[in-house]
Structure 1
Amino acid sequence: MKVLVLNAGSSSQKTCLYYIPDDDRSEYVITELWSGSIDWSKQDGLADLKVESNGIVLEETANNEDRLTVIKQLFHYLCNGDTAVLETWQEIDFVGHRVVHGGREYQQPTWINEEVKSAIAQLASLAPSHNPVNLQGIELMEQLLPDTPQVAVFDTAFHSQIPPEAAIYPLPYRFYEDGIRRYGFHGISHQYCAEKVAKLLKQPLERLKLITCHLGNGASLAAIKNGHSIDTSMGFTPLEGLMMGTRCGSIDPGIVIHLLREQELTPEQVDKLLNKESGLKGISGISGDMRRITKEMEKGDDRAQLAFDTYVHHLVKGIASMFASLGRVDALVFTAGVGENSAVLRQAVCEKLEFLGIELDSKKNENSPRDEQIATIESSTRIFVIHTDEDSAIAQAVSQLAQGSSKTKPSS
């Protein structure tokens, strides 16, 4: 079967086409036929497109005034030009989507119908940078492939077994009953990385205690015990937790009250401030992109340095709290764009965690590690850099759902 995967983030769009055999081998055999990505974060008003297939890499810049137009431009290269791998769109058997917020109801990969789309839309207020663009992708594929079954794979699902004491907020209990609780996000990535580390360590995941650090434009931590998430930094929405590219992470909630009352900001203005204008971008005044921040640090920019130091401070505090949730940690894992590519960040974080027995091998850290262990022999905790692959994990989930069903599109 051919599975097209759409993975929309707050500042990016990744799309991959996979071939998976229709037999019992599919758990182990998956072939990437084509991949494309869009990055909206590097330049205001522009989108960077990249397509890879047939040994060819195509890159171009597009005006990003209309997000869907740019995505259609990316999809054009699936069936056209030197990167084409399909003659027609109808060769695609299934479409899988990463959907950030699934609420309490959706804890497994799910066939998409009108009811599911309605739920994704209703949950958009809890993931305003994600669920709307996830839904856009679903509706776009309905236009392009109206008869092709689509599957939603939810980022919140992996965290659904977090114990009540970690999930509940210290508010009146009725709010917990109404669904105001910690959901957690980046679950597809956290689960994939945990499984990858278990394979690299050649140990059953059920015996390991891990801390996974998904550090992209959005960032979150997960404490994983016996294969399950037992604590995580993001909460009711993806705004809680670590300082991020443009999101503030956890702040005193009284600040929000102050902004509303004393500075007379509207809820919409506060939402934009906390989600789009804070984090690295807010402190530095330069960018939410860690690559830009580190370049400006090297030039001696004080606010870029302050933004970096603040990011590290909050990340170290968060990791230490996950240690407390687990008691013992077998491996600390860095993943996603910042986690995988910023050696200076990993160095700064691990130096501040030396009191926990963590010791980084500086040479290994600087040598562009990928799916490698970078701790010293003396370190009490292994340290890994893992290339997260949410897309193949989504394709695998779609395949498993399809092979366990009649392979017909569910009714609306």
Structure 2
Amino acid sequence: MTESPMVLVINSGSSSLKFAVYAMERRHPLLSGLADRLGLEGATVSFKDESGKTVRDLKEPTHAYALDAVLEEFAARDWSGSLAAVGHRVVHGGERFSSSVLVTPDVLVELEAISPLAPLHNPPAVLGMRVALARLAVPHVAVLDTAFHQSIPPSAYLYAVPMALYRDYGVRRYGFHGASHRFVAGEAVEMLGLDRAGHGLVIAHLGNGASATAVLNGRSVDTTMGMTPLEGLVMGTRSGDIDPGALIYLARRTGWKWDDMDTLLNRRSGLLGLSELSNDCRELEAAASSGHAGAQAALEVFVHRLARHIGGLAMSLPRLDAVVFTGGIGENSARIRSMAVRRLKPLGLSLDEQANLRMVGGAAGIISEGNRPVAAVVSTNEEWMIARDTAELAGLTRSQ
């Protein structure tokens, strides 16, 4: 048994259950892993700690058996008595939730009611909560991706469509990646020595999913993702912004149905669709360096869209102190950062080539020359943010 209370962080997907275990005095998990191929043959669960990684077959390919496997690992490590709370990542909280919340029967009902806004993400999250609640008699906390963006004003979240669609169906921009943007905003303020009550940041969370957010004094005031995580930047397989008229045209010409459009925009577009090669930025960078035209085009479009959105988000702020890169691509691709910062010269940014090359593999720091604004890299830690919120709401730590 560990001396410190432990928090289990769960991220339930439709065919997976990702987890991490934190002792509250440290930011890095004691144990993490993934149950994969749930609902399919060959489901497995992996466990990773400082000693390495192990993979086991699941008895049955269900979320319940996946969680049972995690709890069996707890017992084997003599941790069962140390588990004090469980935090659950939930993608969509609608307008109801502006912060993380203790899970109650009423909260579960409300999250189920919101599920039509995120039909691929919320149902498995609620399922994961129900499974965990049935097995673990400790406080459970829902940490919602959309909550951080509830401070965005109507001028930024309303679409220019009839207001009845907002009132009756909740059609508006919500924003996502909230835990990451919130964590990185706090880290950037500390690293750059900014005034917590007087700063402006644009944070670019770049990975297979990508979004950028304008943060004013710790609060989100504008963001690129919309009613769903499809809007905004070019992503691995998602299109980001596209003229709705193009979709109307395609539907009329091809006879495609809504499910076809969903597949096109969410699974066949983005870097994959542009390059006709891969959605992996590392593979595309290597191919572009070898002269692959599709890879080169994909990276150019990715960066052009990124720079354009960063510039737009900067106009949502009364001041700009820093542009901060994070996420798998943002933290590790010196090439993408270099291309982006060069396009952001009108904002007063000038790249420090050597510093930029050093900021990979978890390194954090400034990659630009001059004073304000600066370009910087900060490693995100969404799971730790979920664990911290969970510990606070469960009464394990003081508010930070």
Whether TM-score is above 0.5 comes out as yes
Whole-angstrom CA distance in 1 between matches of 2:57 and 2:355:
37
Find the partner of 2:388 among 391, 396, 403: 396
Find the partner of 1:34 among 30, 36, 43: 30
Quick check: 1:46–1:61 contact (8 Å CA) kept in 2? no
Cα deviation digits, residues 376-396 of structure 1 (max 9, x gap): 432542111111111111111
- C-alpha displacement of 1:353: 1.1
Quick check: 1:246–1:282 contact (8 Å CA) kept in 2? yes
AA partner of residue 287 (structure 1): S
User: Which residues of structure 2 form unaligned runs of 5+?
Assistant: none
Cα deviation digits, residues 239-285 of structure 1 (max 9, x gap): 11111111111111122323333322221221122111111112222
Q: Which residue of 2 aligns with 1:410?
A: none
Find the partner of 2:189 among 195, 198, 207: 198
Whole-angstrom CA distance in 1 between matches of 2:326 and 2:72:
28
Q: Which residue of 1 aligns with 2:10?
A: 6
Q: Which residue of 1 aligns with 2:276?
A: 285
- C-alpha displacement of 1:93: 1.8
Aligned residues: 387
- C-alpha displacement of 1:49: 7.5
AA partner of residue 309 (structure 1): E
User: Which residues of structure 1 form unaligned runs of 5+?
Assistant: 21-28, 406-412
AA partner of residue 302 (structure 2): Y
Residue 167 in 1 paired to residue 157 in 2? yes
Quick check: 1:36–1:74 contact (8 Å CA) kept in 2? no
Quick check: 2:91–2:118 contact (8 Å CA) kept in 1? yes
- C-alpha displacement of 1:135: 2.9
Quick check: 1:359–1:379 contact (8 Å CA) kept in 2? no
AA partner of residue 334 (structure 1): F
Find the partner of 2:52 among 32, 53, 57: 57
Residue 149 in 1 paired to residue 145 in 2? no
- C-alpha displacement of 1:235: 1.2
- C-alpha displacement of 1:158: 0.9
Whole-angstrom CA distance in 2 between matches of 1:333 and 1:320:
13
Quick check: 1:333–1:386 contact (8 Å CA) kept in 2? yes
Quick check: 2:89–2:125 contact (8 Å CA) kept in 1? yes
Q: CA RMSD in A?
A: 3.1
Secondary structure at 1:244 match in 2: coil
Quick check: 1:211–1:322 contact (8 Å CA) kept in 2? yes
Secondary structure at 2:240 match in 1: coil
- C-alpha displacement of 1:287: 2.2
Residue 79 in 1 paired to residue 74 in 2? yes
- C-alpha displacement of 1:77: 8.1
1:211–1:59 CA distance, 2 compared to 1 (3 A): farther
Cα deviation digits, residues 142-187 of structure 1 (max 9, x gap): 45x2423321011111111111111111111222323221111111
1:340–1:71 CA distance, 2 compared to 1 (3 A): farther
Cα deviation digits, residues 13-61 of structure 1 (max 9, x gap): 64221123xxxxxxxx445452324498xxxx999986443x3121669
Percent pairwise identity: 37
Q: Which residue of 2 aligns with 1:317?
A: 308
Question: How is 1:328-407 mapped onto 2 (pairs within 5 angstroms)?
Answer: 328-369=319-360, 370=362, 372-378=364-370, 380-403=372-395
Question: How is 1:89-238 mapped onto 2 (pairs within 5 angstroms)?
Answer: 89=80, 91-142=82-133, 145-178=135-168, 179-238=170-229
Secondary structure at 1:7 match in 2: strand
Quick check: 1:347–1:365 contact (8 Å CA) kept in 2? yes
TM-score by length of 1: 0.84
Quick check: 2:33–2:48 contact (8 Å CA) kept in 1? no
Secondary structure at 1:326 match in 2: coil
Whole-angstrom CA distance in 2 between matches of 1:391 and 1:206:
26
- C-alpha displacement of 1:62: 8.2
Quick check: 1:359–1:378 contact (8 Å CA) kept in 2? yes
Secondary structure at 1:103 match in 2: coil
Whole-angstrom CA distance in 2 between matches of 1:398 and 1:327:
33
Q: Which residue of 2 aligns with 1:270?
A: 261
AA partner of residue 325 (structure 1): S
1:91–1:376 CA distance, 2 compared to 1 (3 A): closer
1:305–1:190 CA distance, 2 compared to 1 (3 A): same
Whole-angstrom CA distance in 2 between matches of 1:62 and 1:351:
48
AA partner of residue 78 (structure 2): E
Q: Which residue of 2 aligns with 1:25?
A: none
Whole-angstrom CA distance in 1 between matches of 2:31 and 2:265:
32
Quick check: 2:67–2:132 contact (8 Å CA) kept in 1? no
- C-alpha displacement of 1:90: 5.5
TM-score by length of 2: 0.86
Q: Which residue of 2 aligns with 1:24?
A: none
- C-alpha displacement of 1:116: 2.7
- C-alpha displacement of 1:366: 1.0
AA partner of residue 150 (structure 1): H
Quick check: 2:368–2:376 contact (8 Å CA) kept in 1? no
Quick check: 2:355–2:368 contact (8 Å CA) kept in 1? no
Q: Which residue of 2 aligns with 1:408?
A: none
Quick check: 1:14–1:35 contact (8 Å CA) kept in 2? no
- C-alpha displacement of 1:100: 1.1
